[in-house]
Structure 1
Amino acid sequence: MIVDAHAHLLPKHYPADAPECFPRMEPIADSTDRQLLFGQTKFRATEVFFEAERRVEAMDASGVGAEVLSPMPPLLRYDLPADDGLALARHVNHFTAELTSHDPERFVGLGMVPMQDPDAASAELAAVAEAGLAGVEIASNILGSSIGDEKFLPFFAEAERLGLAIFVHAMPAPTDRLPRSGMGTYVVGIEGTLAAASLILGGTAAACPNLRISFSHAAGGLAMMLPRANYFWGGSWNEEAKNPERAVMPDDGPSPLEYARRFYYDSMVFDHRAIRYLIDLLGADRLLVGSDFPAMPREEPAARTLRSMDLSEKEWEDVSWKNAFRWLGRA
């Protein structure tokens, strides 16, 4: 069995009386596709984004047993007024609950909340749980603020209390340090790193030890930085015994690697060598299958790279489906 823990949806419609700042999904002549128009975003969406039957057909064709469905990231518009952001989140969450109800054995839904207003986002989590959604998707930064900022700690604490899963999707932050052409490639790696590191350094990981959180694309370059962070924490190479005399930042608490091993990471890193490193450093019990489908095409069959690796039976079962159920808090 394969659970695709990183797949996206788009609502087919928006209310006729929705605020002007809401997205639009316009019909395309002589096609079942629809055009998403949302601010500067213009995206042609095929039926598989919003029709449950088409999703099941695509899953069967690729060998996927179940999907974890989250909103397409452009819907995470934290620049909207908080009230409009909440209204949009509720509409998307209602659609997600409706789509996943088509086949609850094969679809698990994640909602969204208006993170531009942390109090409203925290309060809305109860409605997310009541709707039967397994958790929420958030962006890797909130209008340029790290998710590890203390102002978001009550949100993560409430998600932990309610047993909801969090999926952090890398999204560009305002910057002029890279050309816009790099936003979908290098920025994903940078943003994933900053998001996960901020939870460790900002104290959220310590304050919420039972928070179930995953990161898109293996949290970018985090795994390459962790051995250096561990050296500065413990003063040793290769995760040997701690040497406080050499530690630059001595700390009696868990190491950066120990915190990172509480998180989950989707394994969509496009190379078996990168996956092997993630398994060696973080553990096979931390990785999830992810595809970004249908925004990006899946490997055919799904998880082909993972299938080609010399994983033990236990490693394969963990990565292909068991870790997803652990992250989601599902039996």
Structure 2
Amino acid sequence: MIVDAHAHYLPKDYPADAPSCFPSMESIDGSTDRQLVFGQMKFRAKDVFFEAEKRLEAQDASGVDVEVISPMPPLLRYDLPAADGLALARHTNEFTVELTSHAPERLIGLGMVPMQDPDAATAELKHIKEMGLAGVEIASNILGSSIGDEKFLEFFKELERLDLALFVHAMPSPMDRLPMSAMGTYVVGIEGMFAAASLILGGTAAACPNLRISFSHAAGGLAMMLPRANYFWGGSWNEEPKNLERAVMPDDGPSPLEYARRFYYDSMVFDRRTIRYLIDLLGADRLLVGSDFPAMLREDPAAKTLKSMELPEQDWENISHHNAYRWLGLNQPA
């Protein structure tokens, strides 16, 4: 069984009376595709983004049994006025419910909330729960603010209280110092690392020990930084016992690695050597299959690299599907 825990959708249409800042989906002559127009962004969206039948056909073609679908990240427009952001989130979430209703055992939906207004985002989580969505997707930064900032703590506490899952998707920051050509490559690695590190350093991970979080693309460069963070915390190499005489910033709390091992990470890192490192450092019980489909093409068949690694059976079963249901807090179907 394979659960693709990182896949995206787009609503097929938007209300005719929607605010002018909403996106639009324009028809394309001679095609079932649609053109997403959102401010300066234009994106040709194949019908698999919004048609349930096409999604199921694509699953079957690549050997995927279940998809966890979240909003296409450009919809996470935190620069919109808060009221418009809430209206866009509600329209998107309603579409998610409609799309997943066609095959709820194979399409598991995540919604979105207006993080530009932390209070409104927190209040909206109850509605997310009532709609039957499994959780929410947020960007790795909120208009340049780290998600570990104290102003978002009540949001994370409410997620934990409502037993909802969280998916953090790497997105560029307004303060990016790299050229636009790096937006889909280096920025993903940097932003994922910043987001996960901010939850550890900002106290959110300590305050919300039961919060279930997954990071896109294995939280970028986080795994490479964790051994150094552990040395600063406890003065140890290779996770030896603590040596506080060598520690740069001694801390009696859980180590950075212990916090990081509470999170989940999709394994879409494009190289089996990186996956082996993630398994060794974080554990096979922390990784998920992910593809970014249909924004990116899946491996053919899905999880081809993972399958080629000849993992122990229990590790494969955890990564391919068990971990996804644990992250979502859902009972795994027989």
Output one character per residue of 1:245-294: Cα deviation in whole Å (capped at 9) or x when no partner.
11111111100000000000000000000000000000000000000000
Structural mapping, 1:29-48, within 5 Å: 29-48=29-48
The match for 2:326 is: 326
Q: Does 1:304 align with 2:309?
A: no
Q: CA deviation at 1:310?
A: 2.1
- Within 1, Cα distance between the matches of 2:237 and 2:60? 46
Counterpart of 2:278 in structure 1 is: 278
Distance across 1 between alignment mates of 2:41 and 2:108? 26
Partners of 1:176 and 1:5 in 2: CA distance: 27
SS of the residue aligned with 1:251?
A: coil
Distance of 2:220 and 2:186 partners within structure 1: 9
Partner of 1:241: 241
Give secondary structure in 1 for the equivalent of 2:84. helix
Aligned mates of 1:55, 1:41 — CA distance in 2: 24
The aligned counterpart of 1:115 is: 115
- After TM superposition, the structure 1 = structure 2 runs for residues 85-234 of structure 1, keeping only pairs within 5 Å, are 85-234=85-234
Task: State how far apart, in whole Å, the 1-side matches of 2:225 and 2:39 are.
Answer: 35
1: distance between equivalents of 2:34 and 2:9?
13
1:174 Cα offset (Å) = 1.4
Which amino acid in 1 is paired with 2:47?
E
Task: Provide the alpha-carbon RMSD of the alignment.
Answer: 0.5
Structure 1 distance, partners of 2:173, 2:69, is 24
Q: Take 1:89 and 1:281, find their aligned partners in 2: how far apart are those partners?
A: 36
Partner AA of 2:259 in structure 1: Y
Aligned residue for 1:36, secondary structure, equals strand
Q: Secondary structure in 2 aligned to 1:138? A: strand
Structure 1's 223 and 99: CA in aligned 2 closer, same or farther, altered over 3 A? same
Gaps of 5+ in 2: none
Residue 75 of structure 2 corresponds to 75
Distance 1:39 1:161 in 2: 36
With 171-180 and 253-262 compared, the bigger mean Cα shift is at 171-180
For residues 175-232 of structure 1, the C-alpha deviation after alignment (integer angstroms, 9 at most, x for no partner) is 3521111111100000000000000000000000000000000000000000000000
Shift of 1:316: 0.2
In the alignment, residue 55 of structure 1 is paired with which amino acid? R
Please tell me whether residue 269 in structure 1 is matched to residue 272 in structure 2.
no
> In structure 2, what residue type is equivalent to 1:133?
L
**Farther off after superposition, 242-251 or 185-194:** 242-251
- 1:23 and 2:23 correspond: yes
Secondary structure of the corresponding residue to residue 136 of structure 1: strand
Alpha-carbon shift at residue 39 of structure 1 (Å): 1.1
Aligned to 1:257: 257
User: In the alignment, residue 178 of structure 1 is paired with which amino acid?
Assistant: L
Q: Distance in 2 between matches of 1:18 and 1:177?
A: 34
1:40 Cα deviation after fit = 1.7
The alpha-carbon deviation at position 32 of structure 1 amounts to 0.2
Give me the TM-score of the superposition, normalised by structure 1.
Answer: 0.99
Q: Decide whether aligned partners of structure 1 residues 325 and 159 sit closer, same or farther in structure 2, where only a CA change above 3 A counts.
A: same
CA deviation map 1:128-156 (0-9, x unaligned): 01100000000000000000000000000
1:168 partner letter = V
Q: For residues 106 and 136 of structure 2, what CA distance do their matches in structure 1 show?
A: 18
Q: Name the SS of the counterpart of 2:108 in structure 1.
A: strand
Task: Give the aligned residue type for 2:52.
Answer: A
**Residue type matched to 2:246 in 1?**
R
Instruction: State the distance in 1 between where 2:40 and 2:139 align.
Output: 18
Equivalent pairs counted in the alignment come to 331
CA deviation after TM superposition for structure 1 residue 57, in Å: 0.2
Identity rate, percent: 82
> Secondary structure of the residue that 1:80 maps to in structure 2?
coil
AA aligned to 1:266 is: D
* C-alpha distance in 2 between matches for 1:39 and 1:186: 24
Q: What residue number does 1:292 align with?
A: 292
Note closer, same or farther for the CA distance 1:93–1:157 as it changes in structure 2 (3 Å cut). Answer: same
